Structure 1
Amino acid sequence: MAAAYFLLPLDHLGPGRPVLSWLLFVLGLAFVAALLLRQIRDVLIERPHNRPGVAIPLLILVSVHIFASAYYTLAKQPGQFTGLRTRVDALYFTVVTLATVGYGDITPRGQTARVVTILQILYSFVFLTAAATALTQWLRGLVERRLQRDTHE
């Protein structure tokens, strides 16, 4: 996943192609949200052969990469970010924002950067929290089933 992030052709996005940049961002987030909702539904209905232990963490990583890519692309526009110059900076800022740490060394200054940061916070609050909760519920059920199986043997 990390290699894919660093190999993405992000230099073709940004101020020179704003429509394409925004379209890819919105479609990427919508696609990941739909897949997360499907995983959440499958956990809630206890669908057999569901693998949320693999799918949910992978989808969370994809959403982190989408936001990091958006921040990196936005940072090409003067005045959008202070302290964000590289892909590593963008990934770092995404993780720090996701973890609600906020060190302050990278700061969204422009209105667009602030809106995308707000979107990340809301997206994380709604989709990633629900997905993490579903994953926890699935793991709890898995442990309970194994304990029941071990006590009946």
Structure 2
Amino acid sequence: MVVAYFLLPLDHLGPRRPVLSWVLFALALTVVAVLLLRQIRHVFTNRPDSRPGAVLSLLIVLTVHIFSATYYALAKHEGEFVGLSTRVDALYFTIVTLATVGYGDITPSGQAARIVTVLQITYSFVFLTAAATALAQRLRDMVVRRTERDRRG
């Protein structure tokens, strides 16, 4: 995923094709949200044939890359960001925002950049927190089952 992020032709998005950029962003977030919710449901319904640990982890990483790509494309618009000019900057800003650290070296100064940043915070709070909770629940269930099996055998 990281390699794809650095190789995708993101320079063709942003100011050159704003409608396509926003549609791709919305579509990607919607698809990931649906897949996250599906995996979360599998955890809470104890579906034995699912592999939510791997899938949820990959979807979380994909979410980070979607926001990073969006920030990188937005930074091509004059006045949207201060301090963000490379893909590494965008990835860094996404992770700093996700971790709620906020060093202040990169700041969203335009309205679109601020909206996407608020959306990332909200999306992370709702979907990624639910995914982390589901992963923790799955791990707890596995430990309980293993402990019960060890007691019997």
Cα distance in 1 between the residues matched to 2:72 and 2:52: 29
* Aligned-partner SS, 2:29: helix
Q: Which residue of 2 aligns with 1:35?
A: 35
Give the % identical residues. 69
Distance 1:146 1:110 in 2: 52
Question: 2: CA distance between counterparts of 1:146 and 1:51?
Answer: 17
Q: Which runs of 4+ in 1 moved over 3 A?
A: none
Q: Can you list the C-alpha shifts for 1:50-93, whole angstroms capped at 9, x where unaligned?
A: 11110001000000000000000000011000000100000000
In the aligned structure 1, how far is the partner of 2:123 from the partner of 2:9? 24
Instruction: Report the residue type matching 1:54 in the other structure.
Output: A
Taking the TM superposition and a 5 Å limit, the aligned residue runs for 1:110-129 are 110-129=110-129
Question: Normalising to structure 1: TM-score of the pair?
Answer: 0.99
Q: How do 1:129-148 residues align onto structure 2 when only pairs under 5 Å count?
A: 129-148=129-148
Q: Corresponding residue for 2:58? A: 58
| Counterpart Cα distance in 2 of 1:75 and 1:19 | 16
* Cα distance in 2, alignment partners of residues 5 and 151 from structure 1: 47
Secondary structure at 1:121's aligned position in 2?
helix
Question: Aligned residue for 1:25?
Answer: 25
Residue 111 of structure 1 and its aligned partner are, at CA, apart by 0.4
**Pairwise CA distance, 1:48:** 1.1
Query: Any unmatched runs of 5+ in structure 1?
Result: none
Alpha-carbon distance between aligned partners in 1 of 2:49 and 2:152, rounded to the nearest angstrom? 22
Q: Name the counterpart of 1:9.
A: 9
Q: Distance in 2 between matches of 1:54 and 1:67?
A: 20
Partner residue of 2:103?
103
1:150 to partner: Cα distance: 1.1
In structure 1, the residue corresponding to 2:105 is in which secondary structure?
Answer: coil
Deviation (angstroms), 1:151 = 1.2
Deviation at 1:147, TM superposition (A): 0.9
